[in-house]
Structure 1
């Protein structure tokens, strides 16, 4: 049943009709239609992501019954085409009248269309947005993108593009208004960041496909006004309070983990997967074999003296609890991977792990490190012509080790302490 009474259809009226919603329980699309008052049987059918014109009328046979009346064969709904295929409502009514005349003459346009389709050669498979996403994911896998990155693309597709993956890619390109509306819908229902991430994926997928399909329309995300995303401004300023909070955590492994983040600026994922075998105790480094960007971005992360002492004590504790050959630096009984995977502590006065990375970078600048030293320790790409490609953290050994020590000294001076914690000092002493 339509939510709208019959009306005199216009192109503007049809364009302003809201797309169909989904049932809150079953998820079924609640399609609806609006009938035209000028041409009986003409209607616009509104679905979740499309609108189309159709004619619904009775079909009669040329044969007549005993009373001389034509035999009714049933009611037929004939699709005229997508709303975007028509430039004027007059063109819609003209095509509707053609179909009505066929039905009056006893001709079923739907059956005629089926017969024509059966006799015509099979069309080439339509390349859909879903196909383009699959192709893009395959390229990313060949380039060695992290599994978490691939998984993120797949989650965005399942959550926000489920109704779009079956659409032909060319149709998506021809629908910038629809793409912009999708962005606004996701923003309203799921937030600005989720909407922007989805559009970035669509943009990357479309541009990747456009390099192979030269006659595609311009990228539809060009019509999207991306949401403003506020950069993180939360950083640690009271280091004494930060370390007091860390020392108060119940799990000693989590305590060591947060010290590691604070004194290295390491990303959370790389820190959680740190292995004992990758620590060079003599030279004061830990090798990070699979950071953000994949194995090709592997690097050696320098460690300060206090952190090295804490890690030695942590490894000894690990051996006592988890066994002598347990490989993980920050082990966990509760993770299927054997190491911390959900180390973020919420509700206990600690900023999130990535904010700690921001805090370390701020302290590194205050401690007098130059931008190259900071970027190498954080494993950021140095975009500086040929110079950037010539710098390698693994070849700068002692220089970066001294730089990391300066940051550690600065942080502990700000905290008003000289050892990691009383417990760690006793264990390392």
Structure 2
């Protein structure tokens, strides 16, 4: 079968036909050198580029990124960009491969050979063998990449052994980052360095056993206390109703009602909703696919989803087929959740904290609140909990939280029909359920709203 060209996405890759024999390439139209090798039984993200020496082509190489069953296209594309950049500098992306004959600017090849594994090589191994293989989220991988390639950019080609034998360098860098970027970023970047060093030492026993990050004095960190209680909600709803974009309004409202991490909500699809069971499936929460869970839906949450689906089909008809919260973005869904604090005082993690606070006010136990928020349950008892058996119980707790949220508005009905730009007196409307007829083909939809 002849090679083809298309914009690679998870959906398009799933549609690729299986070859009768051999394999073929599905090349990406957006990133040159990035493609999927499609075989009878396996499909592999791959990059191809020319290693150069003295500005001339030395050899062309192909490097596998990973199986399409284990990686999302977005993660693979980000990795491909990094691999291609390394190839263009004359460096083979795969750690343990033949050493590059061309050193990057400022590199010292002899130092690399004598000093062992560098931070750059250790990071690539940690990313591929630990983070990607274990299904870490794209946002987590990007956070680590930012620490390594921005905060520690001057150390990328420094042998880890040098840092291990001179921990004072790490202490000085932590102090510098604290002054330049703040205490939280300084601590976070050092946690990244600590993890990479510990992982590298498993295969490089010549590295000093003491992790150099252990020498720093950590900056004090205080949990951000930005959640709202029931008494704060009326003013917040007034701010929310003034937002122009109805999809963003519903996104913030659903974040409050669910307590879910906004980054996980951004990538939910209509197929993740089961109105019959009254759940929203979160396939890729923090911690990766192995932490996937179902959010039980209250009546108010169901109405919120119905409204945003209707708005989505009106405003972004093509993207709305794929995403619950569509937007005019490259990905097709909401990416940037931030709002001007002067316009909307609470958003993002503020609403997650608010959910936890309101859950306590609603009389929901700490244990149930952790299950609703997909928090890890400490102790051996966590392994004995079967979440699907608790769906009805957790849904009642969810309903108690939603009812407490809307009771704080001093309104007779807890249902939002529309979001006016001016007056708040029209914010609530008891006939919100009529918009259910705008969404067809969802089994159990009307009964879910009525319950």
TM-score normalised to the size of structure 1?
0.68
- Matched residue of 1:396: which SS? helix
Residue pairs, 1:283-294, within 5 angstroms: 283-294=277-288
For residues 298 and 344 of structure 2, the distance between their equivalents in structure 1, rounded to whole angstroms, comes to 25
Superposed CA offset, 1:110-137 (max 9, x none): xxxxxxxxxxxx9667212222112111
Q: 2:122 aligns with which of 104, 108, 132?
A: 132
Equivalent position of 2:357 in the other structure? 362
Could you say if the C-alpha distance between residues 194 and 375 of structure 1 is closer, same or farther in structure 2, counting changes exceeding 3 Å? same
C-alpha deviation, 1:363, in angstroms: 1.1
For residues 340 and 226 of structure 1, the distance between their equivalents in structure 2, rounded to whole angstroms, comes to 35
Q: Is the 8 A contact 2:368 2:397 kept in 1?
A: yes
Equivalent position of 2:53 in the other structure? none
Q: Is the 8 A contact 1:192 1:227 kept in 2?
A: yes
Equivalent position of 2:240 in the other structure? 246
Q: 2:389 aligns with which of 391, 395, 398?
A: 395
Q: Is the 8 A contact 2:368 2:394 kept in 1?
A: yes
For residues 157 and 280 of structure 1, the distance between their equivalents in structure 2, rounded to whole angstroms, comes to 40
C-alpha deviation, 1:195, in angstroms: 0.9
Residue pairs, 1:86-97, within 5 angstroms: none
For residues 381 and 123 of structure 1, the distance between their equivalents in structure 2, rounded to whole angstroms, comes to 43
Equivalent position of 1:274 in the other structure? 268
- Matched residue of 2:153: which SS? coil
C-alpha deviation, 1:318, in angstroms: 2.6
Equivalent position of 1:264 in the other structure? 258
Equivalent position of 1:68 in the other structure? none
Q: Is the 8 A contact 1:313 1:427 kept in 2?
A: no
1:219 aligns with 2:211: yes
Q: Is the 8 A contact 2:268 2:282 kept in 1?
A: yes
C-alpha deviation, 1:427, in angstroms: 4.7
C-alpha deviation, 1:372, in angstroms: 2.1
Unpaired segments ≥5 residues, structure 2: 1-111, 420-428, 435-451
Q: Is the 8 A contact 2:326 2:333 kept in 1?
A: yes
C-alpha deviation, 1:357, in angstroms: 0.2
Q: 1:177 aligns with which of 168, 181, 192?
A: 168
TM-score normalised to the size of structure 2?
0.65
C-alpha deviation, 1:163, in angstroms: 1.3
Could you say if the C-alpha distance between residues 420 and 243 of structure 1 is closer, same or farther in structure 2, counting changes exceeding 3 Å? farther
For residues 134 and 317 of structure 1, the distance between their equivalents in structure 2, rounded to whole angstroms, comes to 42
1:149 aligns with 2:144: no
For residues 123 and 137 of structure 1, the distance between their equivalents in structure 2, rounded to whole angstroms, comes to 22
Q: Is the 8 A contact 2:325 2:333 kept in 1?
A: yes
For residues 123 and 192 of structure 1, the distance between their equivalents in structure 2, rounded to whole angstroms, comes to 35
Residue pairs, 1:23-422, within 5 angstroms: 126-138=116-128, 139-217=130-208, 218-237=210-229, 238-323=232-317, 326-332=321-327, 334-346=328-340, 347-385=342-380, 387-417=381-411, 418-422=413-417
Number of residue pairs matched by the alignment = 307
Q: Is the 8 A contact 1:376 1:392 kept in 2?
A: no
For residues 369 and 346 of structure 2, the distance between their equivalents in structure 1, rounded to whole angstroms, comes to 21
